[in-house]
Chains A and B, each alone.
Chain A
Amino acid sequence: MIPLKFDYEVAESAQHAVELLGQHGDEAKLLAGGHSLLPIMKLRLAAPTVLIDIGRLNDLNYVREDGDKLAIGAMTRHTDVEHSDLVKSECGILAYTAGLVGDPQVRHRGTIGGSLAHGDAASDLPGVFLALDAEFKITGSGGDRTIAAADFFEDYLMTALAPDEILTEVRVPKLNGAGWSYRKFNRRAQDWAVVGVGAILERSNGSISSARIGFTNMASVPVRASATEQALSGASVDSIAEAAESAADGTSPSSDIAASSEFRQHLARVLTKRALDEALSR
């Protein structure tokens, strides 16, 4: 379990990281917490020849209030999100889900930015950010840009980030009293999700005004449960069970050692119902 040889550079700032990326081209990779990148390098599924360490960019480790949004620096560790009072009170689903990522060791090293940039649909946070309609701030040699979560995840382990771009910040709306839930199903404590479901429910006058539901591990990218979302828009709170029945519609999750495609779809329906019930009561 030892990776191939690589060179190592330390970035002093986000701008510097972009410069280094420009210098080294395609063969370079940013190193954040290293908890996704290093395992695949050890398995030799990836073999970058240069690692650009952004682990010391402490100015990208923050949670800030910005009007009706929260801004979270890309280098914020899962554990900091999990324990942030601001996140807990304004966007509880994020704090809760960050607390379900791996084990404490992983949460102390792994970063929010790394979790998103890695683009693994089996990770817990991407689906939640998708359900939150988050925005991602990106810096590159061509300047800064902002991209919606819905446009960010392109394919299996592929995102809209160009090779010379760095994700610097994630912005999510405050929940403002909306109900939320994240349901993770795994067979073994602290393991990756077989399926996960994040749900945010807005209510008005006893009915559901909107439901936003994001899936973990139901496709090669994080996806929304569109059919259920539509069925619940403006619907009565009694329609949750029925709407959850369509949660897996249009999905074709993979079959692997952890579960068959059909079982994943079954879990998606069960967990969606549970997530919606919990969101409603919260």
Chain B
Amino acid sequence: MTATQAPGKSVGAPISRVEGHLKVRGAATYAYEHRLDEPAYLHPLQSTIANGRVAKIDASRAEAEPGVVAVLTHENAPKLEAVGDAELEILQNGEVGFRGQFIGAVIADTFEAARYAAGLVEIEYEERETDADFRPDRDDLYTPEQLNAGFEPDTSVGDVDGALASAAVKFDATYTTPREHNNPMEPHSSIAVWDEGELTLYESTQGVYWTQNTIAPLFGLDAEKVHVISPHVGGGFGSKGLPHANVVLAALAAMLVEGRPVKFALTRHMMFSVAGYRTPTIQRIRLGADAEGKLSAICNDVVEQTSKIKEFAEQTGTSARMMYDSSNIQTTHLLAALDVAVPSWLRAPGEAPGMFALESAMDEMAIECDLDPVEFRIMNEPEKDLESGLPFSSRGLVACLREGAERFGWDGRNPTPRSERDGRWLVGTGVASSVYPVFSMGGNAATIRADSDGKYVVEIGAADIGTGTWTTLGQIAADELGVSFEDVEMKIGDTKFPNASGAGGSSGITSWGSTLVEAARSLREKIEAEHGGNIPDEGVEASAKMPKNPHRKEYAMYAFGAHFVEARVDEDTGEVRVPRMTSVFAAGRIINAKTARSQFMGGMVMGLSAALHEESVLDTRFGHVVNHDFAEYHIPTNADVGELDISWIEEDDPYVNPMGSKGIGEIGIVGSAAAVANAVYHATGTRVRELPITPDKLIS
């Protein structure tokens, strides 16, 4: 829909993305496509051992190859500052901490020459024993100081053990989720150029300033000496949130050929070794309830994995702390540090695996209590956030469950497993809740300029990673300026625009949008106060920083959702098909009905993918992912995705931010895998607690 929106009325409208025509015509410039003079091409050298050091590296044959400009190794690499990040401080010594780690690069006039010559570099290693075996019974598990996003690793309210001992209904089961790899369509790409001590990076990133702030200190530079340009990004799913070593490698290589741009795009294979991934998790869930089904104890004890060279601790157990009412709640996190690549963010780190376990367990507990799983959840709805003690700014879970049940046709469901069949297909239905916090990130500023022709230019270093930011920020600015959407031009994705946080934690619209609202207000005030309400001929501009939200201390802020799934399982082969899925979200005010729907849909499909397909298989002997391409790392095709019924409830939340919006990038994936697993159980009577649900697990 591109029809002109009335002034001040564009938020909420299903406006098509403004840059869409560029993308379908191939005219949108992605990181690798910026045209620069005489680029050189980089092909990396990646370690073929998981633990040890490079004992000898002989690049003479590669250097002699026509077209080769330089070979970068730890022997000639420029020195990086010691910032305490072993993932990024590459090539400073010959140490190897995981298989696939960058140990050098060939830079050549063509991609082909770089790649060919990389095969001519002779490398000898001193290998140490590889320890890549992730098991819960290891004796070296440890509690991290804090989890991702700053959460406490262990929490305890009340007396879980006592409550479990005296509970009328007790439940105790262990769930596992596999290693999963982020695989946006566009792999991580960079063009790095040095010029007089300043570095320009054409990047595929979720945050130009996140990249600047991470890369500048490594090279001992003031932040403003690093310029990051990233107008269009072909997806990230968290893996382009914090820069990975590929950016450092490109920048180091570009130093060797000062003045010449160095281009480096990861191959799909490399995406499985250096770009982050979701840790596998093992979660023991214990629940206790009274005879009526009121929960008295909730407990999630998590074991997960990190890398020996850098810690990343997924906040898997946090949703158990606030989801349902109970006087006794305990969560713990233990880490195994292994000779593996560094895990990182993957869409809804924490909630995605955590809610698979919790929402599967809630389904099992409802059955133990002989209650309908929708009603069981509703009767355990808390009145406040049990972790912080704060009231919720709004909590739409019950509304989502009721609305979803209605749309899906849940009423009258026969709770008995295997009660419905259609020929060889066993048919079942399942439900699960969803949750995602309303994060807000600091460090945002924006500038808006008004021109005398009534056009506005809005600048903020925000990111559009395919989510629709180019469009949605324009809608927010237009409404606050009281003008029509077409009169606002957005400028984002570049550090030449004001400071901004990145696209992560579903925080973009909250953080950038609040800043734009503030800037628009100051501009209007300025026009009113200084120019009598008219834009002067020379134009006028105003800047603002993101204001503090005082309500953050007063309310707990979350988006909620409910997924309903129909699964069909072939009784003899275990083939699982999901013909339909209904999801309802309570995510505050929806800024753009079209791009929001796409976000929800993408999350739901990714949850379906996690339920049935995704699993990175690690060869523990050598520490590498065996199925490192799309032929073997399965994600569903369009033909595997059934009917998706996506909607949201009207939610008026005056506390979250001036727009009343909550983040929507991640909530779709949360809980959707559990809804599939619950439906598969209902269809077959077989409970699969280990994702993914492959056919063999359903055939006894």
Which A residues are within 8 Å of any B CB, using their own CB? 1-2, 4-5, 185, 187-191, 257-260, 263, 266-267, 270-271
Within the complex, what minimum Cβ distance (angstroms) separates A6 from chain B? 12
Top 9 nearest A-B pairs (CB, nearest first) are: A189-B639, A263-B696, A270-B572, A189-B637, A189-B640, A257-B627, A188-B634, A257-B632, A270-B573
Q: Known: A1-B268, A2-B111, A2-B112. Is A188-B573 also a contact (CB below 8 A)?
A: no
- Given A187-B575, A187-B612, output 4 extra A-B contacts at Cβ < 8 Å: A2-B112, A185-B575, A189-B636, A270-B572
Assembled-state Cα–Cα distance A255/B356 (Å): 28
Within the complex, what minimum Cβ distance (angstroms) separates B203 from chain A? 22
A270 (CB) vs chain B CBs: closest residue: B572
Other-chain residue from B111, B572, B617, B695 in contact with A187 (beta carbon distance below 8 A): B695
Residues 40-84 of chain B, each 1 if its beta carbon lies under 8 Å from chain A, else 0 = 000000000000000000000000000000000000000000000
B574 (CB) vs chain A CBs: closest residue: A263
Within the complex, what minimum Cβ distance (angstroms) separates A67 from chain B? 40
The answer to whether B632 touches A1, judged by C-beta atoms less than 8 angstroms apart, is no
Assembled-state Cα–Cα distance A88/B382 (Å): 63
- The answer to whether the Cβ of B613 comes within 8 Å of any Cβ in the partner chain is yes
The answer to whether A260 touches B112, judged by C-beta atoms less than 8 angstroms apart, is no
Interface centre among B267, B632, B696 (most CB of A within 10 A): B696
What is the size, in residues, of chain B's interface with A at 8 Å between Cβ atoms?
25
Interface residues of B in 112-132 (CB under 8 A from A): 112, 115-116
Assembled-state Cα–Cα distance A187/B575 (Å): 7
Which B residues are within 8 Å of any A CB, using their own CB? 111-112, 115-116, 267-268, 572-573, 575, 612-613, 617, 626-627, 632, 634, 636-640, 694-696, 699
Other-chain residue from A5, A185, A257, A258 in contact with B573 (beta carbon distance below 8 A): A185
The answer to whether B613 touches A257, judged by C-beta atoms less than 8 angstroms apart, is no
Other-chain residue from A2, A187, A266 in contact with B634 (beta carbon distance below 8 A): A187
B638 (CB) vs chain A CBs: closest residue: A189
The answer to whether B695 touches A188, judged by C-beta atoms less than 8 angstroms apart, is no
A-B contact list, 11 entries, CB within 8 Å: A1-B267, A187-B612, A187-B694, A188-B634, A188-B637, A188-B640, A189-B636, A189-B637, A259-B695, A267-B573, A270-B572
The answer to whether A263 touches B699, judged by C-beta atoms less than 8 angstroms apart, is yes
Within the complex, what minimum Cβ distance (angstroms) separates B620 from chain A? 15
Q: Which residues of chain A are within 8 angstroms of B116 by Cβ–Cβ distance? A: 4-5
Interface centre among A185, A187, A188, A259 (most CB of B within 10 A): A187
A256 (CB) vs chain B CBs: closest residue: B632
Assembled-state Cα–Cα distance A185/B634 (Å): 15
Within the complex, what minimum Cβ distance (angstroms) separates A101 from chain B? 15
Within the complex, what minimum Cβ distance (angstroms) separates B694 from chain A? 7
The answer to whether B699 touches A266, judged by C-beta atoms less than 8 angstroms apart, is yes
Q: Which residues of chain B are within 8 angstroms of A267 by Cβ–Cβ distance? A: 573
Assembled-state Cα–Cα distance A257/B627 (Å): 8
B637 (CB) vs chain A CBs: closest residue: A189
Assembled-state Cα–Cα distance A260/B612 (Å): 17
Assembled-state Cα–Cα distance A191/B694 (Å): 15
A262 (CB) vs chain B CBs: closest residue: B696
Assembled-state Cα–Cα distance A190/B638 (Å): 10
The answer to whether B627 touches A188, judged by C-beta atoms less than 8 angstroms apart, is no
Assembled-state Cα–Cα distance A185/B613 (Å): 15
